[in-house]
Each structure stands twice: as C-alpha cells, then as structure tokens.
Amino acid sequence: MLDRRRRLLVSLVLVGLAGCDEQDSPLPIVGTLERDRLELVAEAQERIVEVMVTEGERVQKDQPLVRLEASVYEAQLDEARAARQRAEQRHAELVRGPRKERIQEARARLDGAADKLEAERREYERIQKLVDDELLTASDLDRAFAARQLALAEHDRAAADLAELLEGTTPEELAQTQAVVDETAAAVRRLEVIADRLLIRAPRDGIIEALPYKLGERPPAGASVVVMLAETAPYARVHVPEPLRARVSAGLEAQVTIDGLDRVYPGTVRYVASEASFTPYYSLTQRDRSRFSYVAEITLTTEEARDLPTGLPVEVDFPSLR
C-alpha cells in the first residue's frame, strides 16, 4: 500500500512538472498586424487648394494627392529664371569677345587722339619760340604745356582701350561669369523642386489612412499632410521575450495566427531590435512583469495576406524553436 502511494505521488509530481514546462513556454508570442506607414509632409507653409483623394482610398505610385498653393514660388521661379538668362547672355557675350564695330570705334578714337596730340605738340613748340622772342608770356607757355599733356593722356587712354578690346576677355572674367551662371541655375533648380513638391504625390502604391488637414487650411512647413499605408504584405509586430532573443534572428520561419481567422499564415522574421524594451502591456503576466522583450517584425509571405486589415491581434509561433 505504501509503495502504491509513493508511485502515485511520483506520477503526480511528474505530471505537474510537465504541466509547468508547458505553461512556462514563452511561445506563442502576441502582437498586432501592421503595415509600413508613410507620412507625407508639407514642403512650405502654404494653403491647401486641392485634395484629390479620400481616406481609405487605394492610390498608385506618383498619383497626385494634395496640392498646395504655389503662386508665391512661381513668381520667385520666374524671377530666378530671368536672372539665369541674364547671366547666361552676359557669359556668352564675354565668350564671343568684343564686336568689330567697337574695335573700329576704338581705333578711330585713337587716331583722333594721335592727331590732337600732334597738333598740341606743334602748338607748344610754336608758343615756346614766341616766348623765347618775348612776344608771349610764360603763362601762355604753361597753358600750351598743359594742353599738350592732356592730349597725351587722352591718347594713352584711347590706346589702352583699343589694346583691351584686341586682347579680348580674360580667363578670370569668364570664370566669374560662369560662376554667376551656375549660381542662378542652382537657384532655379531649388525653386523648381519646391514648386514641384507643393503637389504632393504618392511615393508608392498604398492606402490613404488619414488626411490631417482639410481644404483651405494652411499646415505649417514639415507637418504631415497625408498619412499612407504601404500596399505591401503586412507584418506582425511582436515583442520577443528575453529567453528567446538569442535564437530569433532575421530569416527565421514563423507561423502567424490571426484572431477571427481559422488558418495559419507562414511568415519570415525581417527585423529584431538589438535593444530591449519593457514587456508591453498586452503580454504582462505575473511571471513576465520584470522581464525585457525585443521588438520584432515578421512579414507574412503569402499573397492572401496582402488584403488583411491592419491592427488585428496576432499570435506568432516559431516551430523550429519548440
């Protein structure tokens, strides 16, 4: 009788230990079904003049979604384009060099200055002889000398102007005007980018989740104007308990069960956080309160999973870790 009681007691202990092992297993882990979320922001603080989509609508890549008022930037863009054209024309003018008409004009001025210089030189020599004969005063000679020197200066200036035209544009001048052309072109490109971004387009296929601002409102620069969910396979966002973290890595096969659906969806771990966080509220138990967990994302790999709604509770199991 005593042996029978001992055997019964040992059997109960073994069953209890087996039950504890099953109860203590961290699998499956729980989470929610998510999709990549995109927030499209306002490039500038301008009024919304057109909303071309509604919340919940499916959109295609590059489809226009929201248009912001662009009149201010269009005016700035016209001004920048005019400045660029002016700089380009000035640079082309220097590359071409002086016109032949300007060179002919400079030659004519030099010839006239040479004739005047010769005339003033002769007049000075004549007056000097008259002063030597005491027929004119020294002041007359001074005036003749000043006139000759002025004619000489005009001749030298005309000669320098002609030499400059014949020499043409210097490399330094060309570099300066090219720099102005590049600067104005960059200003045009910057304004073109801003003006283009005032028409907000879908960066990829997806679903419009939210439109935080309405027609006529003026969102601040950098504010989210459109919130999208990517049109891709959803993923399960779960928190991996610390005892499993060493064995869970990218590429690990998983099985995902979704509340309300009587089937299991295959999945693959695409990401596991390297830093731990506290166990989330929905998986807190008396045993887990002090444990850490690691955020992980498991992509559902079947085509049928693409139409599943976001936010559903899920359970994830890793058969290879059982």
Report which listed range, 159-168, 207-216, 287-296, is most confident.
207-216
Lowest mean pLDDT among 134-138, 193-197, 257-261, 281-285: 281-285
Same domain for 84 and 66? no
The β-bridge partners of 86 are none
Is 250 part of any domain? yes
Residue 270's pLDDT is what? 92
Same domain, residue pair 205 and 100: no
Q: Does 104 map to a domain?
A: yes
159 pLDDT higher than 90 = no
> Does position 14 have pLDDT exceeding 60, yes or no?
no
- Mean pLDDT for the stretch of residues 94-118: 83
- pLDDT (0 to 100) of residue 217: 93
Q: SS3 of 253, please? A: strand
Overall average pLDDT of the 174-198 stretch: 92
Same-domain check for residues 224 and 236: no
For residue 137, count other CB atoms closer than 10 A to its CB: 12
What is the average pLDDT value for the chain, to the nearest integer?
83
User: Within this chain, do residues 220 and 304 fall inside the same structural domain, yes or no?
Assistant: no
> 14 in a domain, yes or no?
no
Q: Is 212 in the same domain as 66? A: yes
How confident is the model at residue 10, as a pLDDT? Answer: 33
More confident residue, 293 or 80: 80
Q: Which of 68-82, 100-114, 209-223 has the lowest mean pLDDT?
A: 100-114
9 in any annotated domain: no
In this structure, are 60 and 96 located in the same domain? no
Domain final residue pick, 129, 163, 190: 190
Query: 242 and 224, same structural domain?
Result: no
pLDDT of residue 191: 92
Q: How many beta carbons lie within 10 A of that of residue 44, not counting itself? A: 18
| Confidence at 227, pLDDT banded by 50, 70, 90 | very high
CB 265 within 8 A of CB 312: no
If asked whether residues 147 and 237 sit together in one domain, one would say: no
Domain edge (last residue) among 171, 190, 209: 190
pLDDT of amino acid 138: 85
Does 4 reside within a domain?
Answer: no
What is residue 144's predicted lDDT score, i.e. its pLDDT?
A: 87
Residue 12 lies in a domain: no
Domain interval for residue 209: 39-70+199-230
Q: Are 29 and 298 in contact (CB under 8 A)?
A: no
Average pLDDT over every residue of 71-90: 93
Q: What average pLDDT score do residues 62-81 get?
A: 93
Over residues 35-40, mean pLDDT: 90
The last residue of one of the domains, among 230, 251, 279, is 230
130 occurs within a structural domain: yes
User: Are residues 59 and 206 part of one domain?
Assistant: yes
User: Given a cut of 80, is residue 97 above it in pLDDT?
Assistant: no
In the chain, the number of structural domains is: 3
- Kindly state whether residues 146 and 167 are assigned to the same domain: yes
Is 45 found in the same domain as 30? no
Residue 229 has pLDDT above 80, yes or no: yes
At residue 201, the pLDDT reads 94
How far CA 36 is from CA of 65, 228, 296, in Å, comes to 18, 8, 14
Task: Tell me if 238 sits within 8 A of 31, measured CB to CB.
Answer: yes
Residue 242: CB partners within 8 Å, gap ≥ 6?
276, 291, 292, 293, 294
Residues 85 and 184 in one domain: yes
Is 117 contained in some domain? Answer: yes
